[in-house]
Chain A
Amino acid sequence: MTQGLDVSALFMDMVKASAKVDIVQKKLVYLYMCTYASDKPDLALLAINTFRKDCADPNPMVRGLALRNMCNFRMPGMTEYIEQPIVAGLRDKASYVRRVAVLGCAKMHSLQPNTEIDGIIVNELYALLRDPDPVVVVNCLRALEEILKDEGGVVINKPIAHHLLNRMKDLDSWAQSEVLTFLLRYHPRSDDELFDVLSLLHAFLQSAHAHVAVATLRLFLHLASAHPAVQADALLCTSAPLLATCGAASRELRFTGLCHVQQVMRSQPGLFGTHYKCFFCGYSEPTYIKFRKMEILVELVNDENVALVLEELRSYCTDVSPELAQAAIAAIGRIARTYSEKCLDILTGLLALKQDHITSAVIQTFRDLVWFCPQSTAAVCQTVEACVDSPQDSEGKQTLLWLLGEHGEQISSAPYVMEGYIDGLKTELSSAVKMELLTTAVKTFLCRPAETQDMLGRLLHYCIEEESDVCVRDRALLYYRLLQRGVEETRKVVTGPKSDPSMSVLTGRQEEPISQWASTFNTLGLLSGRDLCLQTAVISAADQPSNSTGKELLPDVTLSSPNDTEEEISLSLGPPLSHETFEKMWLDLEILHRQTLGSPRPRTAPDTLQAALQLVKIQTLAFTPGDTVLWKAYIYTRSTGTLILAELLQGDPQAPGSDESLVVSVKQQPVNQHAIRGFASILKSVLQTLNVDSS
């Protein structure tokens, strides 16, 4: 059965076998029944009698077993049979049965999710929070959370929170971390209470179980969001357990630890500075761990350890795996932005190895370096000149050509290297390389016409007359016509002003406030790339507390309607989305809302529009330039737990009569109509303001 064979035909025999006394046999029969009950509901009903009999067995183990398995039957109409045993089980004197019964309530609810919530059971569960058995307590929380999901989950008010805090020591580690997660939605009323809570929990920051330590840290970061010093102290306390997980025997745990270290470093880059050696790669570690460690090492570099870190990274550059070698070279390139001299020595040394993948990676690193750190240009040019053999892959070729074109005047051999490429043009397969070659040739021609004129002529001739790729041909034609307009015109276009490097990333990563990432801390999103990150934000925001005004354990408070009254929604920017992620999500999601905004596109400069939208926390991803007829802009923003993607469109042919007015189409994940309405009204008011300003 477990190996995927269908043995449901034996159900009838199994029903007979379920009456046996032997407990091992009973367990296996129950397992079988739970698997096939949904396929054979009529036959399963025959077995229910046995189950109900077992629920009254004197042995608590048998009672619990029967109750648990009976609740696991996933078939309609089961509720009427299980309700009575569950209610009896809630009052059972054996804690084992109570545990099962409490979760049974949740199972019963999930069987018929649309029925009215049974107030009696909810009351009973709230009362069982005082149960002496710790697992019963935690199960109560879990069950209430599921039953009351539509109303914002279980209410953690002051008495419950304090009760849970006092019971923390009795719980096992799994329950501890779960309770800590539940406590996230509790807000102490005063600072005094807050510090009482924190000091009660302080010991758990150093728990031997990483998951408890991290859950405690998350709670600290959340509760103490107004006290940065407390947060910093908590991070310091947890740094030891976190580092220990980075060296754990289990790879998966190690990886998780590294991801969390990386996240903490976004706000506290110095925290792990002295422990940089923990992030040296072990040779037997899998590649994905090595990648993370290198990323961390790059962030940890300072004046004292730079020599050692570079030596370590240098030794990865000759690794068997080309991906790892390339990543190590790129990491050295990142460090080179600050410590260019040492790194350039290493990179130059690597060129001597004459291995294709290394050479290509080094050249690519040079390109980025020249871009981010213009003062190293002279040194890079010297090295490139001395480097005789050229990369073989198209990425490397393009990069080398770009370097030659951009700094042709400083590399004396540039025309001759280029000539080699032009001669080998017929065998070149990649059109990207050909395009880059064209650009390079034109740029070099502009600074060194005498040496290049002849070969540029040949190149253009070949590309226009013989090339089959349309893009390359068009590019060649473009340059040809440009050159016909005169050299000065061409110079203006081709070597126009470059972007100002001083505004680029090289200022380094700024320390982000902890609140930026605290919500995703200790969640799956952190481990699996971006797209989950969004859902993460959603889920953690769903834990938003519903108002807990109840003074005592009064369940009727929880039955009050959730807060979907009209209130101001607040937008936030959150972590930036990449173009790819945006595009993917845009294609995946359905349009939820389409509205004519009633105002035309503001005739302001693009920057102004972008800045204005930023002010109200709407991020602009892309828009079509200037006065294009079908003007479009893509924007996104976040609101309490949802991500809103929107497209602004002017002159949509499908929406006649709205030639001048903007149409906004909104997609959202997950759906929250309230947020969409708020978003649309904010957007509308911004655009109106802009229009007033510009007119």
Chain B
Amino acid sequence: MISQIFILSSKGDHLIYKDFRGEESKDSINVFYEMVTALSGDQPPVVMSHKGLHFIHARQGGLYWVASTKTNPSPFTIIEFLNRLAALTKDYCGSLSEKSVRMNFALIYELLDEMVDFGYIQTTSTDILKNFIQTEAVSSKPFSLFDLSNVGLFGAETQQSKVAPSVAASRPIMSSRGEQGGKNEIFVDVIERLSVVIGSKGVLMKADIHGEIKIKCFLPSCSEMRIGLNEELSIGKSQLKGYSSAVRVDECRFHQAVKLDEFDTFRILKVCPSQGEQTVMQYQLCDELPCAPPFQLFPSVEKDYVNRSVNLSMVLIFLKLRCDLPPKSTALNVSITVPVPKGSTSMSQELSSPDQTAELQPKNKALLWEIPRFPGGAQLSALFKVDVPGLSSASLLEVGPVSMSFELPKQTCTGLQIRFLRLSPTQTGLSQRWVRYVTHSDSYTIRI
């Protein structure tokens, strides 16, 4: 059972504090903050103890979500509950930030009051909670400059009229109560996280995909929704359906409310979505990519002496990066991190277009090359000259492995698609349905 729950900002400000059992004083917040900030990097911060009181915390949206307990509960339960609390807060407040939590403190207290009683989790389902939550959410507009740099799920070239802006999904689910009715929208997101290791000769060494189908529902009431997936989707190693290149996942798990009676034959998920965000299906694919990895890197690293007598030397890093996506699609926010030898002082670079940037980060011993947009099929190259005084031949070993992060809108690496989305009984024309795909790089590493 949970003794207290509190939410702290990253600076340690108390945002929310609720004591369920009156076992501990409020000082435990400060104790927790001192402990968590005093930890060194290699100490696991997830569970900490102080005089018989255990703190379990999760970090979401830059905030500490902390539960304290005097008993010995299941860590999985507490951590998943804290994550769920954060997700619900996001649902109700629209976004997850220090500001939105501050502005909606009454709402969050109301939520906590219904979710946990005397330290026992009562319910976390939006369907039940929405009957009890009365407070209106105050939505906080994110800082506008941030908006400019934040590219939405879809690239800018798509027609704005047809596409829901990416901010549409980040509004509070309850905001329409009482007023003009709001939009009846439902978003279905297919989100995949890709973790890839490519060996030094371009060999694919590891490729894992973790995917999930998420529904974010703003409909006040919805009886049943049918989500049709690719018919040729096969699950597990042995099955192979049809002759076409099947879409395959190793295994998948469903939300307990999903009805699967048509899944085996037609690959149709039936679900009655409740308001807010929920994960309908999680799947994973290990050790296999149905398509080529999205990026290939051709590096060359050389040593060059500027002036041998004063031992001024530099490393030439020439990177050629090819995007193996279909020509119509684009990768966004591509950033490439290349470790450089210790003692690197400065860097000059030759990039192929002005919107790219590159900088040397001596603190991290790395150089960072950023490309805001990378069209499929294109190839970009860059030359970096890094000055390293006193370079030895072994220092070149320190260059690499290269790590990349990016976002592929409208792409799923497994090829999983949503064929249709049907609401039954058919809602009045007002309801809008959106299907969005995105692939994130969880960890994309290329050895040199």
Q: Which residues of A contact B (CB under 8 A)?
A: 2-4, 23-24, 27-28, 31, 38, 61, 68, 74, 99-100, 103, 106-107, 110, 135, 138-139, 142, 172-175, 177-178, 181, 206-211, 214-215, 240-241, 244-245, 247, 249-253, 255-256, 275, 277-278, 280-288, 291-292, 308, 311-312, 315, 318, 320-321, 323-324, 327, 349, 352-355, 522-528, 531-532, 535-536, 539-540
Contacts and interface: CB of A to CB of B under 8 A. Distances in A.
Contact of A106 (B75, B118, B287): B118
Contacts of B60: 250
B322 interface: no
B17 A2 contact: yes
A318 B394 CA distance: 12
Interface in B49-72: 49, 52, 54, 56-60, 69, 71-72
Given A252-B59, A523-B72, A323 B80 contact: no
B77 interface: yes
A524 B118 contact: no
Interface stretch (B203-211, B344-352, B368-376, B421-429): B203-211
A175 B17 CA distance: 24
B118 A282 contact: no
B248 to A, nearest CB: 16
A467 to B, nearest CB: 34
A258 B41 CA distance: 17
B140 interface: no
B76 interface: yes
Smallest CB-CB A-B distances: 9 pairs: A282-B443, A211-B76, A352-B394, A528-B47, A288-B44, A283-B403, A208-B253, A527-B47, A174-B121
B423 to A, nearest CB: 23
Interface stretch (B103-111, B180-188, B264-272): B103-111
A251 B120 contact: no
Nearest to A351: B394
Contacts of A210: 76, 80
B204 to A, nearest CB: 11
A535 B122 CA distance: 27
Contact of B77 (A107, A139, A174, A251): A174
A291 B46 CA distance: 14
Interface stretch (B8-16, B297-305, B311-319, B380-388): B8-16
Interface in B108-138: 109-110, 113, 117-118, 120-125, 131-132, 134-135
Nearest to A34: B19
B400 A315 contact: yes
Contact of B75 (A277, A311, A526): A526
B433 interface: no
B442 interface: yes
A240 B287 CA distance: 15
Contacts of B75: 256, 522-524, 526-527
A209 B397 contact: no
A255 B74 contact: no
B389 interface: no
22 contacts: A3-B14, A99-B117, A135-B122, A139-B117, A139-B120, A172-B124, A178-B121, A208-B254, A210-B80, A244-B210, A244-B282, A244-B284, A249-B193, A252-B46, A256-B46, A256-B79, A283-B403, A288-B41, A327-B42, A352-B392, A522-B74, A528-B44
A353 B398 contact: yes
Contacts of B71: 539
Contacts, number: 231
A103 B21 CA distance: 12
Interface range for B: 35 or more
A181 B75 CA distance: 13
Given A278-B208, A540-B72, A353 B46 contact: no
B401 interface: yes
A132 B123 CA distance: 16
A292 B45 CA distance: 13
A198 B278 CA distance: 30
Given A174-B124, A283-B443, 12 more contacts: A3-B13, A24-B110, A24-B134, A27-B109, A244-B253, A247-B210, A255-B44, A256-B46, A308-B205, A527-B46, A527-B75, A528-B44
Contact of A252 (B54, B57, B366): B57
A323 B76 contact: no
Contact of B79 (A28, A252, A532): A252
A651 B23 CA distance: 45
Contacts of B16: 2
B83 A250 contact: yes
Contact of B76 (A68, A214, A540): A214
B72 A535 contact: yes
B284 A247 contact: yes
A103 B398 contact: no
B344 to A, nearest CB: 12
Contacts of A251: 58-59
A286 B41 contact: yes
Contact of B397 (A245, A352, A522): A352
A4 B54 contact: no
B256 interface: yes
Contacts of A178: 77, 120-121
A256 B76 contact: yes
Contacts of A355: 342
B447 interface: yes
B395 interface: yes
Given A312-B197, A320-B339, A208 B286 contact: no
Interface string B68-97: 010111111101111100000000000000
Contacts of B28: none
A526 B120 CA distance: 22
Nearest to B361: A320
B397 A23 contact: no
B14 A177 contact: no
Contacts of B134: 23-24, 27
B4 interface: no
A312 B75 CA distance: 30
A288 B403 CA distance: 19
Nearest to B363: A320
A175 B398 CA distance: 51
A38 B19 CA distance: 13
Contact of A208 (B255, B366, B394): B255
Interface in B271-310: 282, 284, 286-287
Nearest to A245: B76
B109 A31 contact: yes
Contacts of A288: 41-45
B113 A320 contact: no
A284 B443 contact: yes
B410 interface: no
A253 B77 contact: no
Nearest to A537: B72
B59 A277 contact: no
B16 to A, nearest CB: 6
B268 to A, nearest CB: 18
B77 A211 contact: yes
Contact of A318 (B1, B195, B255, B398): B398
B394 A320 contact: no
A535 B47 CA distance: 14
B14 A354 contact: no
B26 interface: yes
B47 A277 contact: no
A28 B110 CA distance: 8
B230 interface: no
Contacts of B124: 172, 174
Contact of B118 (A103, A247, A256): A103
A277 to B, nearest CB: 4
B206 A172 contact: no
Contacts of B45: 288
B251 interface: yes
B447 A103 contact: no
A540 B131 CA distance: 38
